[in-house]
Structure 1
């Protein structure tokens, strides 16, 4: 998708009704136990925020950023996701958390990112985090500078996400189940599943709706 055309959709993207959990739950295995709002409240999840950043490549085609996290002693080590992390009190709000973490992890100055909107929060049971996802854009291709938390930058053409052929099912062993069929996205020859796939599903539905 041409980046200028993507920019022209932003006003609709800002105002459209979100797909919410209906969109996100397209990407969860049928064996996963549905978690109620009441049980989430009882778990008292920690707060975190991530940023889905859109930007043009050298041909003015729209891309978005994913990262491969480095291997470390943590629940989300060596996983593919958006830049982001845990809310800190000094942030003041979760939007700042998403911007700060993006700046720290991939080197994009906060002031060069224009926020578009927030989508539906995503609960991650294994780490007990409630994650707020923000959509943002950079008018220029960023010069990425990663820190120790990031193993690799993954630049995905937006058109690949919008292509229904990118969705498939992969048999995986996860942190909570063994040998199950998990809905996933195939992007840049990578398998993207779990919470990130849930977020991407809602983003995909939102952008597709803006095209109508």
Structure 2
């Protein structure tokens, strides 16, 4: 990959608590294997726009259909450091979700209570992750979220009222 490629993800928030949905990527993938991320993927020419990419990829990965009416916003794009994707994150708000059927790209689906999760934000101190100044981590159970996903989560954290 010589230059940055376009991709998009869906940050899905659902329920009254609220819960945020993330996936653990399959360990067999060539790129981002085993990492915790949001459903989404690379833009392709048949996609009308990056939102369509995120919606299509979410349906492929989780068998979850999202409509454009459920999208409540878009965050600032984030660049991955290893694979050089420019990722546009969209935020979807749902009342609830049905049982998901992850495809072979997904090892597991994480349903994370949003407010306590965002409170785990910390500076990423891992030396291999320090190639840029703005690096963070979030923790849920045995999982550590870092890199592009953590930078997206920080945008959500910074947009919320300071009471959490």
- TM-score w.r.t. the length of structure 1 is 0.68
Q: Determine the structure 2 residue equivalent to 1:93.
A: 49
2:150 alignment counterpart? 197
Runs ≥4 in structure 1, deviation > 2 angstroms? 110-113, 167-177
CA–CA distance in structure 2, aligned partners of residues 206 and 198 of structure 1 = 13
Residue 172, structure 1, aligned to residue 126, structure 2: yes
CA distance in 2 between counterparts of 1:113 and 1:105 reads 20
CA RMSD of aligned residues (A): 2.4
Name the structure 2 match of 1:32.
none
3-state SS in 1 of match to 2:53:
helix
Equivalent in the alignment of 1:67 = 23
Match of 1:114 in 2: 70
Q: CA shift at 1:169, angstroms?
A: 4.7
- Contact 1:83 1:101 (C-alpha < 8 Å) held by counterparts: yes
Which whole-Å deviations, capped at 9, do the CAs of 1:31-70 have from their partners, x for residues lacking one?
A: xxxxxxxxxxxx63100000100111xxx42101010000
C-alpha separation in 2, matches of 1:131 and 1:103: 18
Are the aligned partners of 2:58 and 2:64 in contact in 1 as well (CA < 8 Å)?
Answer: yes
Q: 1:184 aligned to 2:137?
A: yes
Q: Secondary structure at the match of 1:152?
A: strand
**Which SS does the other structure have where 1:49 is aligned?**
strand
Equivalent-residue separation in structure 1 for 2:22 and 2:148 (angstroms): 13
CA distance in 1, matches of 2:70, 2:108: 24
Count residues with an aligned counterpart: 160
Where does structure 1 lack aligned partners over 5 or more consecutive residues? Answer: 1-42
Q: 1:55 aligns with which of 7, 14, 17?
A: 14
- Which structure shows the bigger proportion of residues in helix conformation? 1
Segments of 5+ residues of structure 2 without an aligned counterpart are none
Instruction: Choose from 153, 161, 164 the match for 1:208.
Output: 161
CA contact (8 A) 1:167 1:186 kept: yes
